[in-house]
């Protein structure tokens, strides 16, 4: 199935409304900056690379709007950039893409014809999108080398087509291994509380003919104990300079379990997910989400009676990671040491 999570055609920006999956597969059009910010905050679009791509298009569409009002200037665009960046704090790809757009604005804002500036902004956003597509394909190719024939792979959250501009990061590895003729079966963590695994990954994998089995998050340990998992592959939202990795809440527990059971635990992520400005995972800002996400599942409406703890992400320490699969190659364990060589070369 050839689907794209974000489509930009004829100057129109459309996304799959992921809140409605798997019941309804529907594209919606985002015309304004506030449409884009709402889509990111409400998880209509989610996944680190995808929200970066969408933010870039959001910047372009907003610049176009400001231009039509004769208000395209650095102050107004910086305000939009700040609003986008704070819409979700953990995935570094969001700030990375917005900064690229601001750089393009600064580079071309001296241009005598504003149309040139607008077309350069459009080009920058489209390139971020296209590059992500190629990046996903490369991650798949490098990662597939790690996957043996007849593998049972466990994944968490959704790091696939729905989360990127291409075939995904963790799921790209699976798609590529399958394409190479390997027999793959995927255990899909439900991924409470929002259910990205149950609602999105299971849907995406089965639409792409990958055999999958859905499990509740608390079943992974038992599967590992029974030798039913050969490797774990997940995505990432931000990777610190030492390789500590933030990803969907629950990823850390899988890494601990994999370590205990001596199962390889891989992170697949583009270089845009690395944040070399921070030394370690403790510095990664973790997004906390509302209590409704947890209570709604149980149809609890006396919400005021409940204290709820709902971090969207956790941090996996570098020593639990067997390798980080990027578009430039695999950073193997010990990740901290090998990552140092990777970014200094």
Catalytic residue ranges: 237
Site membership for ligand MRU, residue 132 (CB under 6 A): no
| CA 44 vs CA 188, 249, 280: distances in Å | 21, 19, 30
Site membership for ligand MRU, residue 157 (CB under 6 A): yes
Q: How far apart are alpha carbons 3 and 20 in whole angstroms?
A: 15
Q: What is the dihedral of CA 133, 128, 171, 297, to 10 degrees?
A: -140
| CA 63 vs CA 60, 103, 113, 210, 214: distances in Å | 5, 13, 14, 41, 43
Q: Which 8-state DSSP code applies to residue 273?
A: G
* Residue of the chain from 48, 80, 324, 325 that contacts ligand MRU (CB under 6 A): 48
* Residue of the chain from 13, 39, 44, 46 that contacts ligand MRU (CB under 6 A): 46
Output the CA torsion sign for 216, 219, 224, 228: negative
* Residue of the chain from 124, 135, 138, 169 that contacts ligand MRU (CB under 6 A): 169
In angstroms, what is the minimal distance from the CB of 309 to ligand MRU? 16
Applying the rule CB under 6 A, the residues between 299 and 338 that interact with ligand MRU are 312
Residue 68: phi, psi to the nearest 5? -65, -25
**Pairing, β 212-215 against β 231-234:** unpaired
* Residue of the chain from 54, 84, 102, 163 that contacts ligand MRU (CB under 6 A): 163
Q: Which stretch binds ligand MRU (CB under 6 A): 27-35, 98-106, 202-210, 234-242?
A: 234-242
The residue number whose beta carbon is nearest to ligand MRU equals: 235
* Residue of the chain from 39, 49, 87, 95 that contacts ligand MRU (CB under 6 A): 49
- The contact set with ligand MRU (CB under 6 A) reads 46-49, 91, 157, 159, 163-164, 168-169, 196, 234-237, 247-248, 312
């Amino acid at each position: 199935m050839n689907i794209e999570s974000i489509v930009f055609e004829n100057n129109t920006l459309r996304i799959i409304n992921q809140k409605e999956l798997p019941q309804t597969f529907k594209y919606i059009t985002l015309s304004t900056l506030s449409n884009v910010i709402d889509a990111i905050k409400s998880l209509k679009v989610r996944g680190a690379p995808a929200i970066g791509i969408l933010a870039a298009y959001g910047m372009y569409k907003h610049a176009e709007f400001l231009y039509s009002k004769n208000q395209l200037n650095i102050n107004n665009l910086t305000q939009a950039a700040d609003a986008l960046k704070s819409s979700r704090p953990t995935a570094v790809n969001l700030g990375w893409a917005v900064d690229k757009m601001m750089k393009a604005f600064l580079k071309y804002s001296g241009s005598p014809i504003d149309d040139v500036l607008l077309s350069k902004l459009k080009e920058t956003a489209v390139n971020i999108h296209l590059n992500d597509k190629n990046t996903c394909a490369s991650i798949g190719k490098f990662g597939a080398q790690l996957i043996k024939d007849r593998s049972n792979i466990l994944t968490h959250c959704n790091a696939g087509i729905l989360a990127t501009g291409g075939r995904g990061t963790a799921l790209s590895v699976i798609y590529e291994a399958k394409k190479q003729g390997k027999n793959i079966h995927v255990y899909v963590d439900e991924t409470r509380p929002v259910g990205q695994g149950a609602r999105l990954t299971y849907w995406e994998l089965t639409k792409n003919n990958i055999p999958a089995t859905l499990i509740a998050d608390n079943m992974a340990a038992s599967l590992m104990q029974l030798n039913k998992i050969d490797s774990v592959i997940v995505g990432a939202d931000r990777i610190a300079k030492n390789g500590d990795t933030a990803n969907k809440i629950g990823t850390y527990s899988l890494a601990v379990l994999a370590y205990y059971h001596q199962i390889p635990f891989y992170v697949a992520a583009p270089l845009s997910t690395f944040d070399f400005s921070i030394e370690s995972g403790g510095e990664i800002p973790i997004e906390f989400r509302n209590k409704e996400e947890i209570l709604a599942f149980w149809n609890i409406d006396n919400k005021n009676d409940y204290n709820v703890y709902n971090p969207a992400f956790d941090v996996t320490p570098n020593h639990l990671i067997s390798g980080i699969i990027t578009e430039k190659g695999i950073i193997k364990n010990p990740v901290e040491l090998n990552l140092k060589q990777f970014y200094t070369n």
